[in-house]
């Protein structure tokens, strides 16, 4: 797979690298951002671990690159970051630009089985089978065997879902305001029914609250933050972290979910970036890194 560099922007001593490539999974061009920390340039012989950040509804790779404030922590610990896009863009599927809830910016990290969407909306295979292996070949200085995953909202769901479906592939997972039980909230039900149809057994293959019950991998603690003043949490009940916690009690991960419910925080990147430091420290620990500051 070949990547074209669209832009390189120096930031906190490292660089945000904006890449584009042709995807065989989505059959469109895809954008992805990387953050290469200062160690990438200063120590070319050292392999660097990687943290993947999956974004939420309506986001491009730029939202978190600009507003997540990860760069200082990538430099503090010495890990690179990957910010994938949230869907194909310009696939030409009828209705894909109708709403922020499905289509462009809202791929839900699934491989669609509904015919209309199934040719392009293949974000599950795109991320796991195309993007990460492609970046691993293109950036030999990055260690894609020492990788962790996090995300926000739809991306928090995505991070948990990839982690539970691939036991051991990621060293750790964390999430900010994850859609923890998509089958039971309006955002998740809308996305899942559009892409997967109405067969709930297909939804269960992606729903973290279902997947955790069968999970049989490492028992690394999982860090979750949710804002109590997030209307998508307390008013719309889109996030349902309690359902995931309850399911975890009957699972191999009993007692392993560290869930912080934070007073006064909403759903935005003002909330996410307030806890970036904690999530960076969490992943650094399981990626075998310690603070260099
Ligand atoms: N009101 C939002 C709903 C979607 C939303 O809240 N998106 C969150 C993730 S679920 C987000 O990160 N938006 C982009 C941003 O804040 O930069 C919209 O219409 O875009």
pLDDT in tens, the chain (293 residues): 899 999 999 999 999 999 999 999 999 999 999 999 999 999 999 999 999 999 999 999 999 999 999 999 999 999 999 999 999 999 999 999 999 999 999 999 999 999 999 999 999 999 999 999 999 999 999 999 999 999 999 999 999 999 999 999 999 999 999 999 999 999 999 999 999 999 999 999 999 999 999 999 999 999 999 999 999 999 999 999 999 999 999 999 999 999 999 999 999 999 999 999 999 999 999 999 998 87
Atom of ligand 1 nearest to the CA of 152: 9
∠ CA 283-233-56, rounded to 5°: 55
Which of 55, 56, 158, 273 has the most ligand 1 atoms within 8 A of CB, as the residue to mutate?
56
Distance between Cα 18 and ligand 1 center (Å): 21
From the number of C-beta atoms within 10 Å of its C-beta (0-12, 13-18, 19+), residue 205 rates as middle
Residue nearest to atom 6 of ligand 1 (CA): 57
Q: Of 239, 112, 222, which is closest to residue 170 (Cα–Cα)?
A: 222
Enumerate the active-site residues.
Answer: 153, 230, 267
- Cβ of 62 closer than 6 Å to ligand 1, yes or no, is no
- Interface TM-score (ipTM) > 0.95: no
How far is C-alpha 120 from the chain's CA centre? 19
- Cβ of 12 closer than 6 Å to ligand 1, yes or no, is no
Distance between Cα 164 and ligand 1 center (Å): 25
| Rg, Å, the chain Cα set | 18
Query: Helix %, strand %, coil % for the chain, to 5?
Result: 35, 25, 40
Residue nearest to atom 3 of ligand 1 (CA): 57
| pTM as predicted | 0.98
- Cβ of 60 closer than 6 Å to ligand 1, yes or no, is no
Distance between Cα 254 and ligand 1 center (Å): 31
Distance between Cα 5 and ligand 1 center (Å): 27
- Cβ of 157 closer than 6 Å to ligand 1, yes or no, is no
Write out the two tokens for 140: 């030999």
Terminal-to-terminal C-alpha distance of the chain: 36
- Cβ of 154 closer than 6 Å to ligand 1, yes or no, is yes
Distance between Cα 57 and ligand 1 center (Å): 6
Distance CA 33, CA 16 (A): 7
Domains of the chain: residue spans and CATH: 4-286 (3.40.50.1820)
Atom of ligand 1 nearest to the CA of 187: 10
Q: Of 15, 68, 84, 80, which is closest to residue 278 (Cα–Cα)?
A: 68
């Amino acid at each position: 797979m070949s990547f074209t560099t669209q832009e390189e922007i120096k930031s906190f001593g490292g660089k945000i690298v904006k890449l584009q490539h042709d995807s065989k999974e989505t059959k469109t061009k895809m954008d992805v951002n990387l953050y290469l920390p200062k160690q990438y340039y200063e120590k070319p012989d050292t392999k660097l671990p990687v943290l993947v950040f999956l974004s939420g509804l309506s986001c491009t790779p730029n939202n978190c690159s600009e507003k997540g404030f990860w760069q200082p922590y990538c430099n503090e610990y010495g890990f690179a970051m990957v910010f994938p896009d949230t869907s194909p863009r310009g696939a030409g599927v009828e209705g894909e630009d109708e709403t922020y809830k499905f289509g462009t910016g809202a791929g839900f990290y699934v491989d669609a089985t509904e015919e209309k969407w199934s040719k392009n909306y293949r974000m599950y295979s795109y991320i796991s089978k195309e993007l990460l292996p492609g970046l691993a070949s293109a950036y030999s200085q990055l260690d894609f065997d020492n990788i962790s995953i996090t995300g926000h909202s739809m991306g928090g769901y995505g991070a948990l879902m990839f982690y539970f479906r691939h036991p051991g592939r990621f060293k750790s997972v964390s999430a900010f305001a994850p859609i923890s039980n998509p089958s039971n909230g309006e955002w998740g039900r809308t996305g899942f029914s559009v892409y997967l149809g109405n067969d709930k057994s297909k939804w269960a293959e992606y729903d973290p609250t279902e997947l955790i019950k069968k999970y049989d991998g490492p028992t690394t603690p999982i860090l979750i933050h949710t804002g109590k003043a997030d209307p998508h949490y307390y008013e719309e009940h889109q996030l349902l972290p309690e359902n995931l916690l309850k399911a975890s009690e009957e699972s191999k991960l009993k007692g392993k979910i560290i869930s912080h419910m934070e007073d006064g925080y909403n759903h935005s990147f003002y909330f996410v970036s307030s806890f970036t430091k904690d999530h960076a420290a969490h992943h650094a620990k399981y990626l075998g890194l310690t603070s260099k500051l």
